[in-house]
Amino acid sequence: MRPIIKALQVKSRVIGALVYRSLLSEHGTTRLGYIAAIFKALGKVIMLSTIFMLISRNVPVGDNLIIFLASGILPFSMCIDLVNKIMTMNKSGRMLMTHPLITPLDIAISILILQSAITLIASIILLLGAGLLGLWDYKIASLLGILLTSITAILLGFGVGLMNVSIVVRVPSYEKIWQLLSMPLFILSGIFYVSDMLPREALDVLKYNPLMHITESMRDSFYRGWNSSFVNQQYLLFFTTVTIFLGLFLEKTTQKRVRE
């Protein structure tokens, strides 16, 4: 038992050190980089809300546009940002990988922790702000649902990120291909609409997009007066589990190559 405890201690120490390092350095050259990262997440929500208010679109669910868009953008960008950060970790953490104590997986986990913390803080600021401005009544349908959906979004991002970073090692041009592939995801993931508004034909395609399930499931847990008939938890969990295991497996097999 003792060696395992010792190993876990070392791992958590290493990951803690990596989180400390990227907290100070990751986001730009200024000392307050991580505050900028939080406001970047908020900025996306506020910018989109302003545009949608200007073209005076109705709110599909609930009565406030900011809350509606935030409930889509925050889980979506949590997942996608995590994928993109982990995908480029071989470049950003190149100097760290050769260190005997640090493995690529440690770097990936430190990115996961930092990104989750940033999204969590951004969400709290946004919701409290909306509450103080009287745009939100501090009530949600299911806290458990929100937590589970967030965890799924994080795990999905982690799995796909590990998969992508391993593919990039073998096929460097995949990075560009992924950029092209992931561009339409912002439109296809139910950020500014819900499934009720779409025709059957569209839903038949979108039901294969796990991110669409995540945003729908997030709103289903957030809004008391609205239930999504679209969410297929079984598919979402199956997809996430498969990507996690595939990601970890591919990472394990390419790790040796990366560290040389």
Partner 1 sequence: MIVDFIKVSRFSDTKLKQFSINEASFSLNPQQHLAVLGKNEAGTSDLIKLLSGSIQPTSGKILRYDASSAHLGDASTFHRELTGEENIRFMCKLYGATAKHIIPEVASLTGLGKVLKKRVKSYAPPQRRKIALALPLFLDVKMYIIDDGFGGIGHPDAQFSERYSQLLKQKSQEKTLIIRSNNLPLLKSYTIAAVIVKDGGKVIFKDTLEKGLEESNDINN
Whole-Å CA distances, 117 to 8, 67, 87, 137 = 22, 20, 19, 24
Please list every residue from 80 through 119 that binds partner 1, using CB under 8 A. 95-96, 98-102
Say whether residue 29 binds partner 1 (CB under 8 A): yes
- Residue 97 burial by Cβ neighbours in a 10 Å radius (0-12, 13-18, 19+): middle
Q: Determine the Cα angle at 27 with ends 73 and 168, to 5°.
A: 75
Whole-Å CA distances, 66 to 48, 92, 138 = 8, 33, 14
Say whether residue 35 binds partner 1 (CB under 8 A): no
Say whether residue 256 binds partner 1 (CB under 8 A): yes
Number of residues that bind partner 1 (CB under 8 A): 21
- Binding residue for partner 1 (CB under 8 A) from 8, 10, 124, 187? 10
Say whether residue 17 binds partner 1 (CB under 8 A): yes
- The nearer residue to partner 1, 200 or 256, going by C-beta atoms, is 256
- Binding residue for partner 1 (CB under 8 A) from 60, 151, 210, 259? 259
Distance, CA of 74 to CA of 4 (rounded, Å): 36
- The nearer residue to partner 1, 113 or 203, going by C-beta atoms, is 113
> Interface with partner 1 by CB under 8 A: which residues?
6, 10, 13-14, 16-17, 20-21, 24-25, 29, 95-96, 98-102, 256, 259-260
